[in-house]
Each structure stands twice: as structure tokens, then as C-alpha cells.
Amino acid sequence: MSLGGYRDGLGELIRSAKFGGAMRVLDVLGAALADGVCRALADMPEHRHLWLVPVPSHPRRRAARGDDPSLRLARALARRASDGDHERAGCAVRARVAEVLRRSGMGPPQSRLRPAQRASNVADAFELEPRWRARVDGADVVLVDDVLTSGATIRSAAEPLHSAGAVVRLVAVVAVARA
């Protein structure tokens, strides 16, 4: 589920957050994602206790930006999904942010690569944090990221979760772009 297209103005907001220091924009976008997540899961009442798993940036990129965009989105999504107004509006989702994944490799940014290069750039780029390994089995997961282009990053992030027994129920992104 996404808020819209990258070229619909959302790309400009994402770029201002990631490269212009306007990380607070992600708080608003994350709150908006909560509405979509609630709608997407409305027909799946059995999946109301979710782990919001941000697709992590490499620690060096996170340090350069001062924050991790996907983590910030996931935290804002969790706050909005659990606030009283949202519950009264019919959203019964209980979501908690779980920093289950870590980025094990740092290649060039996906945005600078051609579609054919993206999958190999992020192959085996994610692994489970050791302290979470025993707790992931059976977890209902929403993967959270800022942009979905080719799907290579999301597929790579989902692999260690699936291998450990988690079920990715939904992918929530701010914008969908075409490579």
C-alpha cells in the first residue's frame, strides 16, 4: 500500500527529508500511512497485532542523515495507529515497531542504478538482528519503506523474515516509482 506516486509530489517530500534535513516531513507521511494500513487490513481481523519492520538504511547513511527514514516512518505510523482518535474511527490495529533487520552491506544508492542492477545491489543486504531470531517465527509483519521502485529492496528485506518464519502481510511505502 502506498500514499501515491513518486512523481505526484511525494518524491519531492521524500527527497527533502532524506537529503535536505527535513525529517519531520516523514512524521506526517508516516501518520498518513497508518490510515492506509488500517484500510488494507480491515478485511483481515486475524492480523491485528503487527510488527512494523522498517527497511533499514546502512549505519553510515543513517549517520549522515541524522535518522533512518524508514524507521521514522514506522514510528509515526505506530503512534497514529494506536492513538485514541484512530481507534474510535474503527482502526483496531495494534502495531509496534520492531527493528528486526540490519543492513549488512552498503552499495551505491538504489536511486542511482538501472533496474537490472538493483536486485544484485541489495542481494543478501539484510539479516536478522541476533536478539530477534527466536522471536520472529509466526510474527505478522508490515514492511515499511519510503519508496518502492523495482521491488528489489523489499524482496531482499523480506527474505530473512520469511526464512525465520515471519509472514509479511503488507508492504507500506510512501511512494511508488517506476524504474
Average pLDDT over residues 5-25: 90
pLDDT at 69 over 70: yes
pLDDT digits (tens, 9 = 90+) for 133-168: 889 999 989 999 999 988 989 999 999 999 999 999
pLDDT above 60: residue 86:
no
Burial class (CB in 10 A: 0-12, 13-18, 19+), 17: buried
Per-residue confidence band for 83, with pLDDT thresholds at 50, 70 and 90: confident
What pLDDT score does 37 carry? 85
CB-based burial label for 62 (10 Å; 0-12, 13-18, 19+): middle
pLDDT at 46 (0 to 100): 64
Handedness of CA 56, 37, 163, 115 (dihedral sign): negative
* pLDDT of the residue at 156: 93
Q: Please state the pTM of the whole predicted model.
A: 0.89
**pLDDT: is 122 or 125 the higher one?**
125
Residue 108 has pLDDT above 80, yes or no: no
Cα separation, 147 vs 176, in Å, equals 6
Q: Which amino acid is at 108?
A: P
- Which residue(s) pair with 54 in the sheet? 144
Give me the pLDDT at residue 47, please: 58
- Between CA 82 and CA 52 the distance in angstroms is 13
- Can you give the pLDDT at residue 109? 73
Q: In CATH terms, is domain 2-176 a member of 1.10.287?
A: no
Mean pLDDT of the chain: 86
Q: What is the DSSP letter of 135?
A: G
* Distance, C-alpha 3 to centroid of its chain: 13
Task: Give the C-alpha separation, 108 to 18, whole Å.
Answer: 15
Cβ-Cβ contacts under 8 Å for 177 (sequence gap 6 or more): 5, 6, 7, 11, 147, 148, 149
